Structure 1
C-alpha cells in the first residue's frame, strides 16, 4: 500500500484484503467494547473544504478511537485558501502540524495535488466528482459482511447501481474496487445525462466485470444481490442542467420497488446523505426498519474501516491486539430505535 490513499487505483487486491482483515480486528474498538491508545500523541488534520457530516465525523471518531487527537477545519471561508494560498503551501504548512491529513475538496484532482507536496499520509475524502476511496472500502466491507450472514460469496455477485452515476464519486470508486474481484455482474441505471462515465465502464469491462446498462428500473431485478443507490448531486450541475432537470419517480428505490422487483434477501445500500424530501425521489424513507436496508450498518462500518486505513498508513496495525482495554462506560445494545437484524 502506498503512503497516501488517493484513489482505488493505488490499491491492489492484496492491499484491500489486508485492510479488510485489519478492519475486522478493529470491530471491538469501533463497537465500544475495547479501548486502544496506539495513536496517542498523534494528530490528524481534518481538512474539509466541502460540506460533510458522516465522512468528517467518521474520520474524526476513527482517529480518536485509536487514541489520537484531531484538528478540524471546514469550508474555504475560515481557511487561508480564501486569502489565495495555494494547495502546495497549505499542504506544506499542515504537514508541520499533523501526522496524517484527511482532505475533501470540490475540485477533482485537488487532493492528489495537495498530497504531492507532502510526505505525511494523505487520505482523499472526496475530490469533487472524482473519487471517494474510503467510502468504497467501507461499502465493500459492508457487502462482504452482509453476504457472510447469508452464506454468499462475492464470486458472480450481481450489483445494481442507480441514481447519479455521473457525479456520484462513491460509485466511481466502488466499481473500480469491485472490478478487482471479477467475475461479477454490474447493472447501471441512471436518469438521462447522469450515466456512468464511459471510460469507467470500458475499464472495468476489460478487467472482467459484466456491465449491463439499462434506461429504467422497470423490469425484473430478482437476481440482484445489492441495490446501491445514490443521491442526485445537483450541486455539481451546470446552470443548463439545473434548469431542465426533473427526476422521475421511476428512478426511486422504495418499498414497492423492492417488494415487487427484487428478492427478499437483496441488500439496500446508499452512501448517504439521502434526500428525504418527497420531491427528491431519493431512497425512500418507507424502507426504514426493513431488514434489507443496510445503510446504517454501512455507516457504522465506516469506523473500523477508517481505523484500519489510519493504522496501516501509520504502521501500527500490528500493535492493536497488544494494547486493548475494556470499556468502562455504558454502551447500548442497539444504536437506533429502528435497527433491525438482517
Structure 2
C-alpha cells in the first residue's frame, strides 16, 4: 500500500482485501466491546477546509479508538490559508506536529499536492469533485458484510449507481474500486448533465464489467442487488446549471415505491450521506426509514472499523491489534441505533 491514501488508483485487489480483513478485526473495538492503545502517543491532524460532519468525526473517532489523539481544524476562515499560506507550507508545518493527516479541500487534486510536501501519511477526505477513497472502502466493506449476511456473492451482482454521478466524488472512487473485482453489472442513472465521467465508464468497461446507462428510474429494472444513490451536489453548480436543474422531475428519487416495483427483499439501499430530507428534493426518500433494506446507518457505522484499518495499515500497527486488546470498562448500550437495526 502507498504511504498515502489519495486515490483508489493507489490500491490493488490484494491491498483492498487486506483492508477488508483488518476492518473486520477492528469490529469489537469499533462496537465498544474491546479497547486497544496501539496508537497511544500518536497525533492526527484533521484538516477540513470544506463542510463535513460524518467524515470528520468518523476519522476522529477511528484514531481515538486506536489510542491516538486528534488536532482539528475546520474551514478556511480559521486557518493560515486565509492569510495566503500555500498548501506546501501548511503541509510542511503540519507534518512537524502530526503523525498522520486527513485533509478535505474543495479543489480537485489539492490533497495530492499537499501530500507532496510531507512524508507522514496523508488521507484524502474528499477533494472537490475528485475522489473520496475512504468512503469507497467503507462502502465496499458494507456491501461485503451485507452480502455475507444475505448469502450473496459480489461476482455478477447488479449495482445501480444513481444521482449526481458527475460531481459525486464517492461514486467516482466506488466504481473504480468495484472494477478491481470479478465482472459486475453496473447501471448508471443520473439527471441530464450529471452523468458519470466518460473516462471512468471506459475504465470499468475495459476491465470486463457490463455498464449500462439509463435516462431515469422510471425504466424497467430487475435483479438489483445494490441501489447506491447520491445527493445532488448543487454547491458545485454554476449559476446556469442551477437554473436548468430546477426543471428536473422526481424520476430520480429512490423511494419505497421504486423499491417495491423494482427490487427484492434482499436488495440493499446505500447513500454516502448527508441526504437532503426536505420535501421536493431529488434524493433518497425518508419513506424508507425503518425499511430493513435501508443500509445507510449500518454503512456509516462501518466507517469506524474501515478508517481504523486504514490508519493501522498506514502506520504499520495492523499486526499488533490482536495482542493489544482488553475489555471496555464503561457502560455500552445494547445498540446505538433504533430503527436501522
Common fold, TM-score beyond 0.5?
Answer: yes
Q: Counterpart of 1:186 in 2: which secondary structure?
A: strand
Q: Counterpart of 1:137 in 2: which secondary structure?
A: helix
Q: Please give the root-mean-square deviation of Cα atoms over the aligned residues, in Å.
A: 0.7
Q: Counterpart of 1:131 in 2: which secondary structure?
A: coil
CA offset digits 1:40-67 (Å, max 9, x no partner)? 0000000000000000000000000000
The corresponding residue for 1:279 is: 280
Is the contact made by 1:189 and 1:216 (CA closer than 8 Å) also made in structure 2? yes
TM-score by length of structure 2 reads: 0.99
Check if 1:296 corresponds to 2:297. yes
The corresponding residue for 1:251 is: 252
The corresponding residue for 1:143 is: 143
Q: Counterpart of 2:321 in 1: which secondary structure?
A: helix
Distance 1:248 1:193 in 2: 14
The corresponding residue for 1:330 is: 331
Check if 1:225 corresponds to 2:225. yes
Distance 2:235 2:100 in 1: 29
TM-score by length of structure 1 reads: 0.98
CA offset digits 1:84-129 (Å, max 9, x no partner)? 0000000000000000000000000000000011000000000000
- Off by >3 Å, runs of 4+ in structure 1: none
Q: Counterpart of 2:73 in 1: which secondary structure?
A: strand
CA offset digits 1:224-274 (Å, max 9, x no partner)? 100000000000001110122123211100001101121121100000000
The corresponding residue for 2:155 is: 155
Structure 1 stretches lacking a partner, 5+ long = none
The corresponding residue for 1:234 is: 234
Distance 1:331 1:339 in 2: 18
Q: Counterpart of 1:138 in 2: which secondary structure?
A: helix
Is the contact made by 1:182 and 1:207 (CA closer than 8 Å) also made in structure 2? no
The corresponding residue for 1:313 is: 314
Distance 1:244 1:10 in 2: 37
Q: Counterpart of 1:50 in 2: which secondary structure?
A: coil
Distance 1:258 1:334 in 2: 27
Distance 1:206 1:60 in 2: 37
The corresponding residue for 2:115 is: 115
Is the contact made by 1:219 and 1:261 (CA closer than 8 Å) also made in structure 2? no
Moved more, 328-337 or 135-144: 328-337
The corresponding residue for 1:198 is: 198
Q: Number of matched residues?
A: 340
Alpha-carbon distance, 1:338 to partner: 1.1
Check if 1:31 corresponds to 2:31. yes
Alignment of 1:63-212 (within 5 A): 63-212=63-212
Alpha-carbon distance, 1:182 to partner: 2.8
Structure 2 stretches lacking a partner, 5+ long = none
Distance 2:129 2:282 in 1: 21
Alpha-carbon distance, 1:339 to partner: 2.3
CA offset digits 1:130-163 (Å, max 9, x no partner)? 0000000000000000000111111101100000
Is the contact made by 1:133 and 1:170 (CA closer than 8 Å) also made in structure 2? yes
Distance 1:184 1:207 in 2: 10
CA offset digits 1:160-184 (Å, max 9, x no partner)? 0000000000000000000000310
Is the contact made by 1:220 and 1:262 (CA closer than 8 Å) also made in structure 2? no
Distance 2:76 2:340 in 1: 37
Alpha-carbon distance, 1:281 to partner: 2.4
